[in-house]
Structure 1
Amino acid sequence: MIKFMHKYAKFFYVFFFLIIISFIFFYVGPIDKSLEQLALVEIGEKKIYPDEYWRMYENMKNYYSNALKEKFTPEMEKELRLKDIVLEGIIDNELLLSEAINLGIKVTDEEVNDAITHDPSFIRDGVFRKEIYLRTLELSRLNPRYFEQKKRDDLTIQKMRRLIELAANTKAEIPKEFAGALKGNEQAMESIMKSIQDEQKAKTLRSYMQGLRKIIPVKVRAELIAWEGGDGAKPVV
């Protein structure tokens, strides 16, 4: 698994980006700022606090644990640099959201409503259940207005990401030395072309994010999420 992820790191980044978008705002309630916490990340005027980071980190850790079962060991988590990846994902999403707002990219009320009413978490027997929706938010200590705003932000980020990917050169071509060997094997051809396209999109996205970091101030206090006493110890927040 680890060797596979290293070998296909570019494609894994795209996969991860899709995952973290789905977790970045979901079931993360407002943080009580009365405790005068230091911000872990400052992106322009936006601040991300350690509590928010750890919730997102736990969401991501649980995702991999559920997906990989016993294969997801502490060693794998460490080799994947999960802590760093979650932090980078948070920063990237906030940068994309900031730039989308600057560019005037909007999400309509209808789009937000459609995303919520088609969310599997709130559907039973093929139908959206408002009572399940409200109960789920209540259990997560979220009010509908807050959740809907975060869903709007989520959709805005996705729109921004798709816009960037449109700039990628997606006209993939199989190298001539392999084209002959793959002739007649349409399934293999399509699989390879998709991998090439994904790599091009990942490169375009990374290049764009690097550019954003040069023009939007980003301050990170990494010491706020340092492990105390080594592996497996309690995080310092």
Structure 2
Amino acid sequence: MLQGMRKHARYFYVLFIIVILSFIFWGVGPLDKPTELTVAEVGKEKITIEEYWRTYENARTMYRQIFRDQFNEELEKKLNLKEAVLESIINERVMLAAAADMGITVSDLEVQDAILSNPQFKRDGVFKKEVYFRTLELNRMTPEQFERSTRQQMAVSKLKSIIWASVDGIPSEVTPGGDTQKAQELSRSLSAKRDLALKSFIEAAKASMQIKVNRERIS
């Protein structure tokens, strides 16, 4: 089983990142509940206990879908899931702060387009305002909170694109219809370079930020 995990490590990594990013949909930020206990602080941004456990449960659900009956307490410990979830949320906050420092902005029109194209708010391929408001209401969010979270998510995505662009590029020897195996190897190499560039950026950004973590609250 673990051999299969290593074989498809990139696949699981992408799925996990998708799960972690999904926390943005459910609402984040200290403006919502300023008095709630926090598990970590990244600068002025707080990561609440509620947000952490919600994201953790989302991650467990995703891994349960992947591993089915093989997902148990032992595998969860091997994955170091609790720590991985916390680290991922912290990294997103670091990216958000870095994006703000770099002057990366998201326009109202970009936010609007993102919401209108969100499949969760569509019926028969068409955006439905009543579905949008009902979905937010069910998740105890106001349109303003969701729009703010969407803007944050898009700012982080823009920053990631800038970081990845620094290592992207198609070698001249790769041509359409060429060696498929070589193209796949180059694709894996590019993905590894992207991951390394992103990790290096985050670690450098962390060094310049004040980060407090209360791990005992998730033990």
**TM-score by structure 2 length?**
0.87
In structure 1, the partner of 2:184 is 191
In structure 1, the partner of 2:134 is 135
* Alignment partners' CA distance in 1, 2:12 and 2:171: 19
What's the CA shift string for 1:73-116, capped at 9, x where partnerless? Answer: 33322211111111111011000000100111011111111111
In structure 1, the partner of 2:164 is 165
Percentage of identical aligned residues: 35
In structure 2, the partner of 1:17 is 17
Cα root mean square deviation, aligned = 2.6
Letter in 2 for 1:105: I
Is contact 1:171-1:197 (8 Å) kept? Answer: no
Is contact 1:11-1:199 (8 Å) kept? Answer: no
User: Which residue, out of 197, 200, 213, partners 1:204?
Assistant: 197
Is contact 1:105-1:156 (8 Å) kept? Answer: yes
Residue correspondence of structure 1 range 1-237 to structure 2 within 5 A: 1-6=1-6, 9=9, 12-13=12-13, 16-21=16-21, 23-28=22-27, 32-34=33-35, 37=37, 39-168=38-167, 170-171=169-170, 186-226=179-219
What's the CA shift string for 1:25-51, capped at 9, x where partnerless? Answer: 1123675444x52x2111111111211
Letter in 2 for 1:25: I
Q: 1:24 to 1:220 in 2, by over 3 A?
A: same
Is contact 1:57-1:86 (8 Å) kept? Answer: yes
Aligned residues: 215
Where do 5+ consecutive residues of structure 2 fail to align?
A: none
What's the CA shift string for 1:107-135, capped at 9, x where partnerless? Answer: 11111111111111111111111111100
Where do 5+ consecutive residues of structure 1 fail to align?
A: 175-183, 227-237
